[in-house]
Amino acid sequence: MEKKIKELEEKAKVIRRHIVEMIGRCGSGHPGGSLSAADIITVLYFHILKHDPGNPKWENRDRFVLSKGHAAPVLYAALAEAGYFPKSYLKTLRQIGSSLQGHVDMLSLPGIEMSTGSLGQGLSAANGMALAARLDKRSYRVYAIIGDGESQEGQIWEAAMTAGHYKLDNLTVILDHNKYQIDGHVEEIKGIQPIADKWRAFRFNVIDGVNGHDIKAIIKALDDAQRHKGKPTMIIAETVKGKGVSFMENRPTEFHGKAPTKEEVIKALEELI
């Protein structure tokens, strides 16, 4: 297990390098919220999810929905590393004709389960997949990552009510709780606290206080979620926006939707060795 954790930590570093490089190259994108989710995505794609990059439409695969669709680069990096498409393709991010759209597009890229970008919609879609699994008596699980700013969308709470009402225990939702949104600190813009209580009130099993950058802690939370019956699970992952790149961590709002310069990319890659 220690070896596996070491491997995953290395993989997360590789994914962070891809994120910085691809956003830097194209000159636009969302580095902060991609970097904050990098460890969670790494654990999902390289340890938890039952999936087959050679057969992306395998019927009993686990489904993953990136409800915070602007973090597309972290998912593209993971899919490329997993073998869904060549890593060289990451260079085409946000370019005309590329399948690597600014926000994820399920029709153009294998491995994307739902097109997202307009916040709140992905969680509802994940519920639909979980209901389908139940109807078809299939064992696959559904995972969704949502964001802090996204938690201000009304649809998140409509979807929360649905998952709670239908007791979707084949659904695990992870909140990438990095505390920032484009305009600033979430609690200053429009506070979402007490967030764990909110999800409990919406009939979720809540696992809070999980260090979203500690591979071992992420694995444990996801395993616990899978074992919990009768309710969907919300994992509140405490994360740092821009995690892994010191100057992005210190300026979280500046690097929400802004690409690093060439010099910043070089500096960031030096930190991610």
Partner 1 sequence: MAELASTRDAYGKTLVELGKTNKNIVVLDADLAVSTKTSLFGKEFPDRFFDMGVAEQDMMSTAAGLASCGKVVFASTFAVFGSGRAWDQVRVSIAYTRSNVKIVVTHGGITTGEDGATHQANEDIAIMRAIPNMTVIVPADAIETVNVIKSLVKEHGPAYVRLSRLATPVIYSSADYDFKISKGVTISPGSDVSIIATGIMVSLAKVAAQQLEKEGISARVINIHTIKPIDKQLIIKCARETGAVVTAEEHSIIGGLGSAVAEVLAENMPVPMIRVGMMDMFGESGPPQELLEKYGLTSNSIVLAVKNVLKRK
Residue 261, phi-psi category: left (phi > 0), alpha (psi -120 to 50), beta (remainder): beta
126 binds partner 1 (CB under 8 A): yes
* Smallest gap from residue 268 Cβ to partner 1 (A): 32
Strand 171-177 relative to strand 233-238, pairing:
parallel
Binding mask 47-86 for partner 1 (x = CB under 8 A): ------------------x---------------------
The answer to whether 80 and 14 are in contact (CB under 8 A) is: no
* Smallest gap from residue 240 Cβ to partner 1 (A): 29
122 binds partner 1 (CB under 8 A): yes
205 binds partner 1 (CB under 8 A): no
215-253 in b/e burial notation, b at 16+ Cβ within 10 A?
bebbbebbeebeeeeebbbbbbbbbbbbbbbeebbeebb
* Smallest gap from residue 141 Cβ to partner 1 (A): 13
Tell me the backbone φ, ψ of residue 138, rounded to 5 degrees: -105, 155
162 binds partner 1 (CB under 8 A): yes
Distance CA 246, CA 109 (A): 32
* Smallest gap from residue 121 Cβ to partner 1 (A): 4
**Residue placing its CB nearer to partner 1 in the complex, 95 or 118:** 118
Strand 180-181 relative to strand 184-185, pairing:
antiparallel
Closest residue by Cα to residue 151 from 190, 113, 184: 190
172 binds partner 1 (CB under 8 A): no
* Smallest gap from residue 187 Cβ to partner 1 (A): 26
SS3 181: strand
183 binds partner 1 (CB under 8 A): no
124 binds partner 1 (CB under 8 A): yes
Angle 132-137-143 (CA atoms, 0-180°, nearest 5)?
Answer: 50
Distance CA 168, CA 53 (A): 26
Q: Which of residues 82-111 bind partner 1 (CB under 8 A)?
A: 105-107
133 binds partner 1 (CB under 8 A): yes
154 binds partner 1 (CB under 8 A): yes
Q: Pick one of 152, 155, 211, 226: the residue that binds partner 1 (CB under 8 A).
A: 155
159 binds partner 1 (CB under 8 A): yes
Distance CA 124, CA 228 (A): 21
Q: Pick one of 36, 116, 181, 239: the residue that binds partner 1 (CB under 8 A).
A: 116
* Binding residues for partner 1 (CB under 8 A): 65, 105-107, 113-118, 120-133, 135-136, 154-155, 158-159, 161-162, 165-166
